[in-house]
Amino acid sequence: MEFNERDAKKFSMMAIIAGLGVLAFLVVRPVVTSVLAALILAYLFMPLQKRVVKIVRNKTLSASIVLSLLLIIILIPIWFLIPVVVEQIFQMFKYTQTLDIHAILANLFPTASDQFSSQASVAVNSFISKISASVLNSLVSVFLDVPTITLHLFIICFVFFFVLRDHEDLKEFMRGLSPFSPSKEKMLVKPFKDITDSVIYGQIIIGLVQGALAGIGFLIFGIHNALVLTVFATILSILPIVGPFIIWIPVSIYLFTTGQPSVALGYLIYNLIIVSTVDNILRSYLVSRKTNISPAVILVGMMGGIFIFGMMGLILGPLILAYFLVFLQSYREKSLYTLFSDKPVVEQASAQKSN
């Protein structure tokens, strides 16, 4: 094979593009999580953007309206709820320091020996202390990182606005970069969209709804520090398999052991009927209607994503794994080569043999 001047120019251009790509990644790397968060939010708000465009007939104005709505949704709860959350976190920390775990275990297991109750209470106290210290350290870190958080919020809003306004141009640009043939690209778009909807709506949105219902239960039954418990329940609701029962079962046991059996029974029934129904019926319906993605894939993706992307990994991790599985399935059903060409499989095989 002769290496001519044209090939040299081609490889030189590829090397320049690769080098600039590496430099571009290093530039974007500090804010890549914010950019990805903006893209996910834009995906969620895109249906609203399309409706507003039909009304105002101006993409810039409609994107500004949707951005204003997003800021209201983000900033107003933060402004009013953060002081309450901080106060309740410190109240819970003080309460855990005076909590008599030994007495609670003695009431819960009256036939257990004193040695068992003592050892169990030490283990539970140690666990509670570690959790409390971790939460307090995270809270202090958040306050110290307020300038950085503000910068990332600005980047999210900036990218969110331009993605909403110019999403058609971006779509055409990405389609031009795609190595896949038009027909195969359409074949891949639907499973990608179904997987994205399944993860975002089936896990994130339904998790937020389930956490809100758990919070309503805290308020109805007069549970102390309801707001902080709601935050924890919401996070657990987003995670597959675990769920908010990790919060409401101990709360039910606590109510029972502190002499409130009727309240504990009512609270337990509320969570079994209302909160669990959202997970068992609504989430299952949304996920199964869109795709047959396994909960194990979602869980592993979320856990691994958290280590790499932080909280954004709850969304990005399962999406990356699910997209990878789509490509593996495409490779299993037909050669990956067919994804890049519109020729029938028989013609491609003949072409490969002739070569």
pLDDT tens, position by position, 33-48: 888 888 888 888 888 8
Least reliable range by pLDDT among 150-154, 166-170, 230-234, 297-301? 297-301
pLDDT at site 345: 44
In one-letter notation, the amino acid at residue 326 is V
For the chain, what is the mean pLDDT? 76
Q: How many CB atoms lie within 10 A of CB 7?
A: 11
Which of the two residues, 156 and 139, has the higher pLDDT score? 156
pLDDT at site 352: 45
The DSSP element (H or E) to which 51 belongs, if any, is helix 32-56
CA dihedral 48, 51, 52, 54 (to 10 degrees): 160
Check pLDDT > 70 for residue 244: yes
pLDDT at site 227: 82
Report the chain's C-alpha Rg in angstroms: 26
pTM of the model: 0.66
The residue assigned the tokens 């699910």 is: 322
* Residue (of 204, 209, 201) closest to 286 by Cα position: 201
Least reliable range by pLDDT among 34-48, 201-215, 272-286? 272-286
pLDDT at site 194: 73
Share of the chain above pLDDT 90, in %: 1
Share of the chain above pLDDT 70, in %: 74
| Residues 60 and 53 sit within 8 Å (Cβ to Cβ) | no
Q: What helix, strand, coil percent values describe the chain, rounded to 5?
A: 90, 0, 10
| Residues 241 and 222 sit within 8 Å (Cβ to Cβ) | no
